[in-house]
Structure 1
Amino acid sequence: MARDPLQRLIDQAAAEGWTALDLGRNQLRKLPPEIGQLTNLRQLNLGSNQLSTLPPEIGQLIHLRQLDLRSNQMRMLPPEIGRLTKLQQLDLSYNQLRSLPPEIGQLINLQKLDLGSNQLSILPPEIRQLTNLQQLDLFNNQLQALLPEIRQLIHLQQLDLSYNQLRALPPEIRQLIHLQQLDLVSNQLSVLPPEIGHLTHLQQLDLIDNQLRALPPEIGQLTHLQQLDLVSNQLSVLPPEIGQLTHLQQLDLVGNQLNALPPEIGRLQKLEKLELYGNQFEDPPPEIVWEGTQSVLNYLRQQLEQGKDYVYEAKLIIVGEGGAGKTSLAKKIVDPSYELDSHEVSTEGIDVIRWDFELPDGTVFRTNIWDFGGQEIYHATHQFFLTKRSLYALVVDTRQDNTDFYYWLSIVELLSDSSPVFIVKNEKQDRHCDVNEGQLRGEFNNFRETLATNLKTNRGLDEIRRKIQQYITDLPHVGTRLPKKWVDIRRALETDQRNYISLVEYYRICEANGFTHQADQLQLSEYLHDLGVCLHFQKDPILKHTVILKPEWGTAAVYKALDTKEIYDNLGRFTRTHLDIVWSDDEYADMRDELLQLMMRFKLCYQIPGTDDQYIAPQLLSSNKPAYNWDEPPTLLLRYRYGFMPKGILTRFIVEMHKFIAGQRLVWKSGVVLNNGSAQAEIIELYHKGEIHIRVCGKRPKDLVTVIIHEVDKINDSYDRMRVNKLIPCQCDLWQAGDAPQFFPLNVLHRFIDKGQEKIQCQKCFEMVDVRQLILGFSDPVYDPEADKNDYPPLAESSSFHPENCKDSWPIQTLQDDPMQRIKLFDTLSNLATSDFEKLVFALDAPRGNLGEASTPQGERVSRLLDWAKSNIGCGLDTLENALQAITSNA
């Protein structure tokens, strides 16, 4: 605003006795002294200008109640500011103030003072005179300490000290007895004073990103606290007094060093949100933590009610090629005197053998030895049983040259969260072989060593047994504390000789052990299911009524069907009549429906749509691709490239997408053609290359490809440590003419954007291609399940999103994030159209399986996306914001 118009406006305001004047966002560099004529002003807005100082005449506005000076360039305030004794609100945020004049203390009626985002390193002692102050904002300054005079601000209700350099809080903080909100985000606090317990009206305490190693017991005195945020500290333990915060609704402990929670948290009946990822919990066990807030609270409550017991038990999982000697090793571990049987039948599926040994203190340690069938047909289901928190042994037959070390060590690393693994060289007839241990250690951090034995003579067997005892007792979960009745019931179930029991019988066993609440009983069965102790699919309409006590019995039944010659010769096609014959023994007679359902839960088969009794097991399909016509050139190409590709990805995909299979016949062992009525897609797995190739054509190809991407991503995301990248083709004309295009890894394109590189050269057409258009151009339209429902058959029920399918955690990032940036992003993303949100997810290569379906509430999906972006495996909020701007600008 030019000076003359400003002068005329001031003259007019003076003549008419204005009580409010808004001069915000006018690029003012200087305020004329005539401003002092406006003695009737109650409100003056000077925000978002370029003012570096105020004229002394400002002190003449003695009736001023509100003064807004935010977002200017103020370096100092004139002493005359002290004359504004009726001032109630003063906003000086986002300026360049290094100090405040002593006269600030004369504003005795001030109720709200905002000094955020300045350069203050100290407050004047006169601040103590602002005894009517209710809100004091000092975020993003350079304060290293608070003056003791802070104690006299006895009416203070909100105090924001976030993003400063505070190393401690003064004991005088105890005097702020009316404080309701205290924000200490991103300081350098290593301890809280005991006096914090005097702030009994506190409702919100935010301590994100400090250096706290412990909380004082006095924290339990904050009985009105509703929100306690302790993200990114160094807490290794919590005081039991935290259980006294009976009004607590939200407790965020992400990114600390906790391995246990005090049982007293189970008393917090009003707690709705308990965030725990980014820790290494043993108590509660990770399986309970994954289930969410209520499961954790129930678990801790039961610990309080029942007391604790300890579990000394673990799995030894033996893997390797068929015929390598896995079963012989398992039996020799249990009984060294066992005589080898030269005609021993190879394991079908899984055998489980129990081995007990004593610890030095006399405690009996139970080892469950899982002997896996090594045949190719069993590989697709390894993911269901190669569990975390186990010890692995890879058995190698030294007479054979058929052990794929890379496959077995990779699959253990991928599925077991890097559980320790050692190699056993089964030196039959004392034939030796070399193992390049140095190379294996370089590639696999969980590889321990190689041990050799001749199982016929027992040479080396004692050393193997000793090493197993050493490694397995060192597993982090050994000695886990559990509610006592959980341990009692687990022992009762494990000693039960039956293969399965009804859910009603399970309830009876629980009640016989004094465990009477049905919700607690189901939580226990879910925990035992997650551990692989039993199988209980609570959300399956058929399987939920049965608890399979011996998982190996269920899997043996499944493999018995897949190994049947008639089904094999029929290329995986079967009916219930086939299964009646396969499962004709008495042990299966009453469980045929459940076992078939178990096969479908394991994604081993699907029912052919439109039939009453015809099923297909995709892994038994023909390897030959059926003949079919592809009349149109592909409109879209996409590839997935895996660092290591576990077996069974495509067969799982086929089961998930079977309702789209073209004519229900264009499917083979390594590929499938899908058709949704408006587009057709060919998906082929090239296992030897570690790739999946996708090509799509039709009227609306991007609708179909979005569904395909969603399903493949969901499968990939079920593996915590999967290394996979999407490859996007150049949009040049070469591939339209039939030539292979240049494919760009999506992660490389993201690195180009991060480095400010807008172009990348295609090595086929040699043109410079716009990086953002490559990403956004591919992800333009998306599948919307609410639009044109008649065009799309419904997806399989099993494809719906469940929280338990999420990864257990995203590591917390140590870099400082601006909480205001997250808030703004949340607001923008929450109002984003579904199509644009899906575009963004694709462009960022975010883990779609963790975000939920399109039907999941948008706010929940946004929160998950922001959590991922901030994590160590995420893209960062800045990259997310840039991608969002690119998408919305192209909308």
Structure 2
Amino acid sequence: MSKNIDTAIKRIQNAKEKNLRYLDLSGLHLSQIPIDISDMIYLFDINLSFNNFSEFPKDLLKLTNIQILNISYNYLTEIDLEYGAYYSYKEINISNNILNYIPSIIDFLDEDTEIIYHNNPFLEGLPPEISWEKNLSYVKFYIDSIKERGNVKKLFEAKLLIVGKGDVGKTTLMKLLKNPEYEVEIGQETTTHGININTIEKDIYFPARDPFYNKNEDFDNIYVRDFEYDYENQEEERIFENNVIYEPLSNHYENFDDEFKVELRISDEPSRIDDNFFIRKELKINVWDFGGQEIMYSTHQFFLTKRSLYLFIWEPRADNEEESFDYWLNIIQRVSNDSPVIIVMNKSDIRVKNIDETSYRDKFKNIIDFYKVSCITKEGIHNLIKKIQKNISELPHIGDGLPSSWDDIRSKLKNLKKDYITYDCFKEICKVEDNSLVNFLSGYLNDIGDIIHLRRDFRLNNIVIINPHWLTKAIYQLIHTLEVQKNDGLFNADDLLIYLDGKKYPRGKHHEILLFMENFDICFKVIGSKNSYVIPALLSPNIEGNNFLNEFKTPESLKFQINYDFMPSGIIERIICKLNNYIESNNFWKYGVVFKTEYSKALIHSNRIEKRIYLYVTGQIRANLFNIILHELNQIHKDLKLKKEDLREMLACNCNLCYSSLSPYTFDKKTLYKFLDLGKSYIDCQVSAERVEIKEILSGYKSKQTKRLLIRDFIDAFSQLQTRHITLQKMNEDERNTYLNTLLKPYLIKRGFISQEQSRRGKSETGKGIGELDILIEEIEGTPITIFEGFNLNSLATSIIKKHLKKAILNYDPNGLKEKYIGIYCEAKNFNNLADKYFKYIKEFDMPGITIIDSEDLSKVYVKAPEIKVFRTSYNRNKEKLVLYHILVNLEL
């Protein structure tokens, strides 16, 4: 121990001598800090993890500049900070201690402080949706809600999700699960297009113990289990069999003494209730029947949930069931976090086929059982129903406690008989004033599937979908509309008036439905159009005139591929949505897309047979575009819960032979890094046998600049602005700038920028007074990044144009910002004609003190339709090259 103390003292003294910002005292089994460190006010980061602290070190109370504190894996029972002091913590890790209640530390920290708190006793017994939440205040709100209300409502509700290929009888089976007496009419059963949602309510007997038993609700609901006649071969699962009977405890009450009766009334888990005591509860099963058409696969992934029971249905009519098994069992295992699944072979009255059940069980540990059923003869249906009831009753969340006030909110929402409400209405129902607490409630109800509320999306946070089926039905109605399918997924927003029921889906909600689809990566708006959208799942699987693809498969291109052990559907479709503002012209199809920047182009396409994705990048700055694409691919993999072993990233060899080859040998990226970790700098190409330097291979895929350009954020904001062109007709110039700033802010926040609207900076047009900038964009610290000037233009009014150009180039830019932006809200009857005249004007105009280098039309690089134009003027000012972007948007009705 003395050795550890000596080590700690040496580290502290070294940090003091060098004024280090980081101090590592982890893993030294310290119960206290051996010497005073309260004067080390320059410390920003301190690691005290894996020690024996039972009390929070007092020295830390004085170190108010610490931003990162790791005190995990200790024996703390409380964490007290000094009252009235301001602390700078950005991250504090208190996980794996023995905190029996939420520490008071959260009262001293900013809302943005990240607190890592897992594996502490105060989390025991909390529902996963609560304990998994990153915000500790959420957990505190839940616990306080339970205490304040005095009792807890236990949830007896679960999801049953039925998946599988089309025409295997999923919908018919769902009807039989709800009503076993249902008579199937051959040839008359309907096909599910999208998702059908039904509810089954069933009385189930649960063991009279925690978490199911509640003394306040269940004292008069206790039953004693008994068996009729035959006691042999009884198993616990026989609870649902016909030969098991349950009698009310009141029938046997005279057999129990008064002490036991009192214990039943006052305890949630009476010590003398044995395995034959049960409570009867109504179990609500929400059944989701998923359409099995292949075009639905990529969208289904957004609605497959955790803490559910899955039925995977197949039929033995063909020899390709392995493909269906592989897809559905893999996607369930990953997206649903290993939720249990029952595999059901339907139509056993027609044909029976045996499969290798042992191998499937070995590969997918979440498989419960295999069943053979017939919806026509009802063979096996009764046993399947019993199995479903038993396994749903055993799901970990059944009996979870929910604050009564939260359950009241659920009931009120369901009793509204509405499909959606406003956020203010939801807040009123919650009876909570603090918006952050209201968001906690909406987050929980969103997690368990009661509502859909995207509270972090400013465009949608004012609508709360309280009937999720309302939204899913609209989405799948669009996907299954024949006209949209024939048009390869392209449709107009105004077409929703035709495709959707006007009473159920009023015109005022069409824009929000489309925003939800964009948020789920189901569709995207065509940049440069007023209201054209594309659903990539409906794109043609082939591309016409694909000769242009040859330009990517050259020796000079950057080559990359991903090999999948399991490849979910829709990866390319989703990356098309995520990076739609990079698409080159119409070069995209169901399995591939071409992206373009000013300096490079990329082709990405998938081969579903090989389970591979190929990526080629050409141009001057290849690695930048490569990293933009790879970042989005990694995010998609993360959303799909893919594991490390599910895929391999392969990098092309750069030896003399491979460099000039169209199909070079590729190295597994993990292998390359493993070699480096072992101190090996070289690796042999398996084709040429030439030794190549590993860092040289990796360097080709690295970029110093991977940030998305601001011009794309402005264009995205203008594209969104364009969808509101009817509303904008009533706005003046300042109001339009304000609206644009609102749409722009979320993009800037992701980058760590802020925007100031109508900032009183710069000089007026005369140069004598103070003028107003329309929008100033700054870093958090206040460093200016760029400025924006927006104005209306109905015709080529050169005096107006020149005035605003002068503002942007001279008056409001004393420091010479590298890039600036002008936005022109056009309402001319002929937008293209006005845009052409404007471009001709800026190519010829001059300004004292400024040397115009050139003006370029970049519209084909940044937009896909003619309703937005993008020009760039390059000029010299004080011998420094600067640029001004011009974005023209058509707002004419």
- CA change 1:793–1:682 in 2 (3 A) is farther
**Do the aligned residues in 2 keep the contact of 1:349 with 1:552 (CA within 8 Å)?**
no
Q: Confirm whether residue 507 of structure 1 aligns to residue 353 of structure 2.
A: no
Structure 2 residue identity aligned to 1:393: L
> Could you say which residue in structure 2 is the equivalent of 1:305?
148
> Could you say which residue in structure 1 is the equivalent of 2:865?
none
Which of 582, 596, 607 is equivalent to 1:675? 596
Q: Distance in 2 between matches of 1:330 and 1:319?
A: 11
> Could you say which residue in structure 1 is the equivalent of 2:346?
426
Which of 311, 328, 347 is equivalent to 2:192? 347
Structure 1 residue identity aligned to 2:338: S
Which of 518, 527, 541 is equivalent to 1:623? 541
User: Shift of the alpha carbon at 1:697?
Assistant: 1.0
Gaps of 5+ in 2: 16-22, 41-45, 207-278, 720-742, 751-893
- CA change 1:721–1:256 in 2 (3 A) is farther
Q: Distance in 2 between matches of 1:482 and 1:372?
A: 29
> Could you say which residue in structure 2 is the equivalent of 1:662?
584
Q: Confirm whether residue 732 of structure 1 aligns to residue 575 of structure 2.
A: no
More deviation, 573-582/281-290: 281-290
Q: Distance in 1 between matches of 2:713 and 2:453?
A: 36
Q: Distance in 1 between matches of 2:489 and 2:673?
A: 42
- CA change 1:785–1:328 in 2 (3 A) is closer
Q: Distance in 1 between matches of 2:577 and 2:34?
A: 65
User: Shift of the alpha carbon at 1:179?
Assistant: 9.8
Q: Confirm whether residue 743 of structure 1 aligns to residue 666 of structure 2.
A: yes
Structure 2 residue identity aligned to 1:371: D
Q: Distance in 2 between matches of 1:614 and 1:790?
A: 19
Q: Distance in 2 between matches of 1:720 and 1:733?
A: 38
User: Shift of the alpha carbon at 1:504?
Assistant: 3.4
Structure 2 residue identity aligned to 1:290: E
Describe how 1:100-499 pairs up with structure 2 within 5 A. Answer: 115-116=6-7, 163-164=27-28, 185=48, 189=52, 192=54, 203=60, 230-232=71-73, 256=96, 262=101, 268=107, 270=109, 272-277=113-118, 283=126, 285-286=128-129, 289-307=132-150, 308-342=152-186, 343-357=188-202, 358-360=204-206, 361-403=279-321, 404-429=324-349, 431-499=351-419
Q: Confirm whether residue 778 of structure 1 aligns to residue 701 of structure 2.
A: yes
User: Shift of the alpha carbon at 1:553?
Assistant: 2.2
User: Shift of the alpha carbon at 1:202?
Assistant: 6.3
**Do the aligned residues in 1 keep the contact of 2:471 with 2:513 (CA within 8 Å)?**
yes
Q: Deviations over 1:784-810 (max 9, x none)?
A: 4469x699976999996999xxxxxxx
- CA change 1:731–1:542 in 2 (3 A) is same
Q: Distance in 2 between matches of 1:257 and 1:447?
A: 35
- CA change 1:395–1:791 in 2 (3 A) is closer
Q: Distance in 1 between matches of 2:3 and 2:518?
A: 68
Q: Distance in 1 between matches of 2:160 and 2:484?
A: 32
Q: Distance in 2 between matches of 1:290 and 1:674?
A: 36
Q: Confirm whether residue 600 of structure 1 aligns to residue 518 of structure 2.
A: yes
Structure 2 residue identity aligned to 1:359: Y
Q: Distance in 1 between matches of 2:3 and 2:124?
A: 45
- CA change 1:704–1:340 in 2 (3 A) is same
Q: Distance in 2 between matches of 1:716 and 1:756?
A: 30
> Could you say which residue in structure 2 is the equivalent of 1:556?
473
User: Shift of the alpha carbon at 1:670?
Assistant: 0.7
> Could you say which residue in structure 1 is the equivalent of 2:489?
572
Q: TM-score, normalised by structure 1?
A: 0.62
User: Shift of the alpha carbon at 1:626?
Assistant: 3.0
Q: Confirm whether residue 700 of structure 1 aligns to residue 543 of structure 2.
A: no
Gaps of 5+ in 1: 1-95, 100-113, 120-134, 140-158, 207-224, 804-891
**Do the aligned residues in 1 keep the contact of 2:541 with 2:590 (CA within 8 Å)?**
yes
Q: Distance in 1 between matches of 2:511 and 2:542?
A: 31
- CA change 1:463–1:265 in 2 (3 A) is farther
Structure 2 residue identity aligned to 1:756: G
**Do the aligned residues in 2 keep the contact of 1:537 with 1:544 (CA within 8 Å)?**
yes
Q: Deviations over 1:583-612 (max 9, x none)?
A: 134111242222222222221111111111
- CA change 1:746–1:278 in 2 (3 A) is farther
Q: Deviations over 1:335-365 (max 9, x none)?
A: 2112223311111111111122333312322
- CA change 1:500–1:792 in 2 (3 A) is closer
Q: TM-score, normalised by structure 2?
A: 0.62
Q: Deviations over 1:181-239 (max 9, x none)?
A: 9x9957675x95xxx69x8x564699xxxxxxxxxxxxxxxxxx999855246x8xx96
User: Shift of the alpha carbon at 1:461?
Assistant: 2.2
Describe how 1:793-832 pairs up with structure 2 within 5 A. Answer: none
Describe how 1:532-543 pairs up with structure 2 within 5 A. Answer: 532-543=449-460
Residue identity over aligned pairs, in percent, reads 29
> Could you say which residue in structure 2 is the equivalent of 1:649?
571
**Do the aligned residues in 1 keep the contact of 2:361 with 2:367 (CA within 8 Å)?**
yes
- CA change 1:330–1:790 in 2 (3 A) is closer
Structure 1 residue identity aligned to 2:133: W
Q: Distance in 2 between matches of 1:178 and 1:188?
A: 17
- CA change 1:791–1:554 in 2 (3 A) is closer
**Do the aligned residues in 2 keep the contact of 1:138 with 1:160 (CA within 8 Å)?**
no
Describe how 1:876-887 pairs up with structure 2 within 5 A. Answer: none
User: Shift of the alpha carbon at 1:298?
Assistant: 3.6
User: Shift of the alpha carbon at 1:732?
Assistant: 2.5
How many residues are matched? 621
User: Shift of the alpha carbon at 1:254?
Assistant: 6.3
**Do the aligned residues in 2 keep the contact of 1:266 with 1:299 (CA within 8 Å)?**
no
Q: Deviations over 1:830-862 (max 9, x none)?
A: xxxxxxxxxxxxxxxxxxxxxxxxxxxxxxxxx
Q: Distance in 1 between matches of 2:631 and 2:576?
A: 13
User: Shift of the alpha carbon at 1:385?
Assistant: 0.8
Which of 425, 443, 446 is equivalent to 1:529? 446
Q: Distance in 1 between matches of 2:399 and 2:114?
A: 28
SS of residue matched to 1:697: strand
User: Shift of the alpha carbon at 1:399?
Assistant: 3.5
Structure 2 residue identity aligned to 1:525: S
**Do the aligned residues in 1 keep the contact of 2:61 with 2:81 (CA within 8 Å)?**
no
Q: Which has the higher strand share?
A: 2
> Could you say which residue in structure 2 is the equivalent of 1:881?
none
More deviation, 314-323/275-284: 275-284
Q: Distance in 1 between matches of 2:351 and 2:357?
A: 18
Q: Distance in 2 between matches of 1:187 and 1:313?
A: 40
Q: Distance in 1 between matches of 2:81 and 2:618?
A: 62
User: Shift of the alpha carbon at 1:98?
Assistant: 7.4
Q: Distance in 1 between matches of 2:609 and 2:651?
A: 20
User: Shift of the alpha carbon at 1:243?
Assistant: 9.1
Q: Distance in 2 between matches of 1:589 and 1:335?
A: 35
Structure 1 residue identity aligned to 2:604: I
